[in-house]
Amino acid sequence: MSDELYSVLALGMRYWFIALGLLIVVQTFLWLYRDHREKHRRLKNLPDAGMIGEFVVLSGSKTLEEGRVIPVPWEGMMGSSGACDVVVPSPEFAPVHLYFSFVKGRGLQIETARGRSCYVDGVLQEYRKGTPDGKMIHGSILQVGDCVLRLRLFAGLDVERKAARKAEDDLKEYGMPVASQGVPRQGYDGWVDPQTEEERFTGIYLVKDEEQDGNEETKKATGGSRKKNKNR
């Protein structure tokens, strides 16, 4: 191709390239906007997305009222500072009191910050090199000073349910009474207190149906179900 012809062609094609460049940018930002909208829609359907459970305040202080629910993400810092992932507005907690991370099948691992301590299910946890992290499972209690928090886990619910079914079948096979056949126990704010190790691990209790007030009918449920939390 001659240089003159190429020059004319290249000059004409400038507009094509600029138009395509602009279209690519517009399409990119439209895509970003659509994804942003889709993410919001998904989060609307999944209000607990990104959370593995919640802490319920059983006993607090002036600034931390009883019954308060604090969502717990997969991992992060817990303390009274606003920069923490789990903010507990209580003077009992240090600005950064402990670090936590959720490990599938093992629960919430707790590691206290240097110079801090807490109780997990009555066992003292404090910062010391070489010591194992504290482990919190569904229903475990965290105590810092006078503040008492109970952990409810959502994550791993399917695993819990499978384990529960297997445990129930095993008990039936040996002709032993299943936990769900016992007397229903209504604890704090509809919360069922797991009293045995079996209940804690299998998650089978008898719960009074909150939606049918006055109705004596009870139903079997797995501990800390998402539906129950949403209703509350």
Partner 1 sequence: MKKQKKQQAEAEKRIKTGKRPGERLTVMVMLFYGTAFLLLALRNAAWQGYALALGVPAAIWGGTHILGRCFHIDTLLFSLTNFLCALGILILYDTNPGLAYHQVVYYGVGLVGMVFCIYFMRAIRRIRGLGFVMIFLSVAFLTLPLLIGRETYGAKNWIYFHGISIQPSEFVKILLILILAWFMSRRQFLPWFLCAGGCLLCLMLQKDLGTALLYYGVTLLLFFASTANVPLTLLGLAGGGGAAVTGYRMFAHVKKRVAIWRNPWSDYENAGYQIVQSLMALASGSLLGVGLGLGSPTTIPVYETDFIFSVICEQFGLIFGVCVLLIYVAIIWRGTTIAMASRHSYQGLASMGATMMIGLQTFVIIGGVIKLIPLTGVTMPFVSSGGSSLVSSMCLTGLIQGVASLNEDDLEEDLKLTEI
Return residues touching partner 1 (CB under 8 A). 1, 6-7, 9-11, 13-18, 20-25, 27-32, 34-36, 38-39, 42, 45-46, 48-50, 73-77, 83, 99, 101, 113, 154-155, 157-158, 161, 226
DSSP 39: H
> 44 or 62, CB closer to partner 1?
44
DSSP for 147-210, written as a single string: EEEEEEE-TTHHHHHHHHHHHHHHHHHTTPPPGGGS-----GGG-----SHHHHHH-EEEEE-S
By beta-carbon proximity to partner 1, the closer residue of 46 and 188 is 46
Q: Determine the Cα–Cα distance for residues 36 and 26; give it in Å rounded to an integer.
A: 15
Picking from 74, 99, 64, 63, the residue whose alpha carbon sits closest to that of residue 84 is 99
Closest to partner 1 by CB, 1 or 123? 1
**DSSP secondary structure letter of residue 46:** -
- At 73, which helix (H) or strand (E)? strand 69-73
Closest Cα partner for 117 from 99, 91, 144? 144
Least distance in Å: CB of 179 to partner 1? 20
At residue 12, what is the residue type? G
Q: What's the closest the beta carbon of residue 175 comes to partner 1, in angstroms?
A: 29
Q: How far is the CB of 10 from partner 1 (least distance, A)?
A: 3
**Given the complex with partner 1, which of 38 and 65 has the nearer CB atom?**
38
Min dist CB 157 to partner 1, Å, is: 6
57 or 97: CB nearest partner 1 = 97
Task: Report DSSP state, residue 98.
Answer: E
Give whichever of 28 and 212 is closer to partner 1, judged by the CB atom.
28
Q: Which of 48, 56, 41, 107 is nearest to 73 (CA)?
A: 48
In the complex, the smallest distance separating the C-beta of residue 222 from partner 1, rounded to whole angstroms, is 9
Q: Which residues, 6+ apart, have CB-to-CB distance to 25 below 8 Å?
A: none
Least distance between partner 1 and beta carbon 15 (Å): 7
201 sits in which H/E element? helix 197-202
